[in-house]
Amino acid sequence: MKHHILRSFSLVFVSVLFSSADNCSAENWPGWRGPNRNGVTTDTGVPTTWSASENVLWKMPLPGIGTSNPVVWGDKVLVTASEGRDQGELHVIAFDRDTGRERWHQRLWGTAPTLFYGRSGMASPSPVTDGKRLFAFFGTGDVFCFDLDGGLLWQRAIAEEYGPFENRFAAASSPLLFEDKLIVQCDHYGASYVIALDQQTGANRWKSDRPEVWLSWSSPQLVPSGDRVELVLSGSEKLDGYDPRTGSRLWTVRGLARECVPTPVIGHGMLFVVSGPNGTHFAIKPGGSGDITDSHVVWKNDKGTSFVPSAILAGERYYLADDKGIGSCMDARTGKLIWKKRFGDKFTASPVSADGKLFFTNESGSTLVLDATQASYEEVARNDIGEEVYASPAISQGKFFLRTATNLVCIGKKERNAVQSAE
């Protein structure tokens, strides 16, 4: 299966398949932006209409603040949060997927207080799971590993070991799993680095210093390139490719924004990278060595780049909603603009896609649903949950999970749920 996916490298690229987990299913949402770290799932039966009352299966209050996306594995929905004057009180909570009942709740201390953003606190990075363990990284620079019953297995206070995170909004990068390693991008004004931790013990497998890098909030991505896999990090006016097995740097593309937030997405044999505002979209062929700016950039344009939201690739088209609410659709292979539209309100959350639909949720809590099978702009619905939303949604097993500013909301088709319950 692993080799098949590598060979058939196209739109769908399941980063979790590179991990040692033996039971990965695309219908789970195991980490930042889902099974492929690109917001896209093969899940079906997802509702396209809802409101604060319609199609809401359950709603549970969350402690504190956070913008990490919910993680769904099997019958659990896992969420992180932080609270307190310095946001040093950390929470990891597991909810029952079907009922919303709290299954377990771990409360821990963050070890290295730093500045934070008022909406996200220390819970910007999304946790990630391989179905056996949950790995949670917080803006305080702490990494915790739990079994899926909530038992703490190991922890690392990496900000205490390598220096506190010096940036304005705390660390926000969501870690990823590769083989038996957990990889965490730690870019900040202090000593930046990317580190791979042993999933079993938490010990360093490798650490690669990034002395020329300053703060960014982007998350790493994995991309297959020929017979190798490359780890891609966006930040500090460039994109770097690394060997995820050793941490050695392979290549660099120059020209990104000074501070990067969006996570690169992959497809059509290319990496799609955006950073802004007033930045540039890049489509890049991975591979090569050294400075590949002049040799591997397939196309670029500077129309409608975003500061926070990541882009999404659906079939032949590349979509983005920028922070100010301007949506755009481009031809993924050429970068040519297909349409541009004012979506309304501001965006922090990144879009997700399932079942031929695109879901863009703005800060007011309104989710714009578009038909991704059409090249033209085809609006399916606008669904208002009635609460502010800054976190990216999750889709799993026919349900749409929205983390609002105060609640975790499970949206689903009630009749389908009734059938499932009866079974």
Q: Which is nearer to another protein, 20 or 374 (CB)?
A: 20
Which span sits near another protein by CB under 8 A: 171-179, 194-202, 264-272, 377-385?
194-202
- Select the residue interacting with another protein from 44, 101, 149, 152 (CB under 8 A): 152
Contact status: 161 vs another protein (CB under 8 A): yes
Which span sits near another protein by CB under 8 A: 8-16, 48-56, 153-161, 282-290?
153-161
Cα 137 to Cα 124, 126, 143, 194, 308: the distances in Å are: 9, 7, 4, 13, 19
Contact status: 8 vs another protein (CB under 8 A): no
Of residues 30 through 59, those in contact with another protein by CB under 8 A are none
Contact status: 155 vs another protein (CB under 8 A): yes
Count of C-beta atoms within a 10 Å radius of residue 407: 17
Contact status: 386 vs another protein (CB under 8 A): no
358/264 Cα distance (integer angstroms): 18
Count of C-beta atoms within a 10 Å radius of residue 217: 29
Judge contact between 225 and 269, C-beta under 8 A. Answer: no
Q: Hey, what are 315's tokens?
A: 């079939």
Q: Hey, what are 347's tokens?
A: 């965006």
Q: Which is nearer to another protein, 54 or 147 (CB)?
A: 147
Contact status: 151 vs another protein (CB under 8 A): yes
93 - beta bridge partners?
Answer: 79, 105
Q: How far is the CB of 206 from another protein (least distance, A)?
A: 13
Q: How far is the CB of 259 from another protein (least distance, A)?
A: 9
390/221 Cα distance (integer angstroms): 22
Q: How far is the CB of 154 from another protein (least distance, A)?
A: 4
Contact status: 191 vs another protein (CB under 8 A): no
Contact status: 166 vs another protein (CB under 8 A): yes
- Select the residue interacting with another protein from 6, 60, 157, 298 (CB under 8 A): 157
Q: Nearest-CA neighbor of 327 among 369, 356, 287? A: 369
Of residues 89 through 118, those in contact with another protein by CB under 8 A are 106-109, 111, 115
254/286 Cα distance (integer angstroms): 14
25/35 Cα distance (integer angstroms): 8
Contact status: 212 vs another protein (CB under 8 A): no
Of residues 291 through 330, those in contact with another protein by CB under 8 A are none
Q: What are phi and psi of 181, to 5 degrees?
A: -120, 150
408/58 Cα distance (integer angstroms): 8
Q: Which is nearer to another protein, 168 or 336 (CB)?
A: 168
283 - beta bridge partners?
Answer: 272, 299
**Which residue, chain included where needed, has tokens 């819970």?**
123
Residues in contact with another protein by the rule CB under 8 A = 85, 88, 106-109, 111, 115, 144, 151-157, 160-161, 166, 168, 189, 197-198, 201-204, 214-215, 258, 277-278
